[in-house]
């Protein structure tokens, strides 16, 4: 599955389609994307490959560890390493083919914006879930 930023300078590929999506409703994710929530997935490093434009990626990190990588040309959020783990966080709005992807979890529902009318689908977590269990949920094979 191919993905790219708004201007097309940063391009990447996710190998395989056995991953699922989540939405995060925390204030950091809302601010990062300028929307109701952030839709993303987490994939193992070996399933992710940069195709072009890595030199255009800039990073910003909050003291808490929240990291935001973005295209320095158009400002789109782009994939970034998940902490010191062997995974990549991928904002799914960048994917070319949204095909048969499914949202399976909602994070930080307790922080959902009061004006957000979204009907939540999938498992809802008021806070951030246990990371290893959460990654297993996202990597689960499609039924």
Residue 45 β-bridge partners = none
CATH tag for 2-139 (out of 3.40.640.10, 2.40.110.10, 2.170.150.70, 3.30.70.920): 2.170.150.70
The Cα-based distances of 56 to 7, 29, 39, 73, 76 in angstroms read: 11, 22, 22, 7, 11
For the chain, give the percent of residues with pLDDT over 70: 96
The Cα-based distances of 30 to 34, 38, 110, 112 in angstroms read: 5, 6, 13, 9
Task: Please report where in the chains the tokens 């990626």 appear, as a residue.
Answer: 57
pTM listed for this prediction: 0.89
* Amino acid 98: pLDDT: 64
Please answer whether residues 54 and 5 qualify as being in contact, where contact means their C-beta atoms are separated by less than 8 angstroms.
no
The domain limits of the chain are: 2-139
The phi, psi pair for 32, rounded to 5°, reads: -60, -40
Tokens of 115: 């004006």
Tokens of 8: 């097309």
pLDDT tens across 85-105, in order? 999 999 999 998 766 788 999
Helix then strand then coil, % of the chain, to nearest 5: 20, 35, 45
Contacts for 141 with CB less than 8 Å, ≥ 6 apart: 18
Q: Is the pLDDT of residue 127 over 90?
A: yes
pLDDT tens across 10-56, in order? 999 999 867 899 999 988 888 888 888 889 999 999 999 999 999 99
* Amino acid 34: pLDDT: 80
């Amino acid at each position: 599955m191919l993905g790219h930023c708004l201007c097309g300078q940063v391009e990447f590929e996710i190998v395989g389609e056995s991953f699922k999506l989540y939405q995060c409703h925390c204030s950091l994710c809302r601010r990062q994307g300028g929307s109701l929530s952030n839709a993303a997935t987490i994939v193992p490093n070996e399933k992710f490959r940069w195709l072009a434009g890595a030199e255009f990626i800039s990073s910003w990190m909050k003291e808490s560890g929240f990291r935001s990588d973005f295209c320095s040309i158009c400002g789109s959020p782009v994939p970034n390493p998940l902490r010191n783990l062997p995974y990549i966080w991928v904002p799914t709005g960048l994917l070319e083919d949204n095909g048969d992807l499914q949202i399976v979890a909602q994070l930080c529902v307790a922080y959902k914006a009061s004006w957000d009318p979204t009907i939540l689908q999938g498992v809802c977590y008021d806070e951030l879930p246990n990371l290893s269990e959460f990654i297993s949920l996202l990597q689960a094979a499609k039924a």
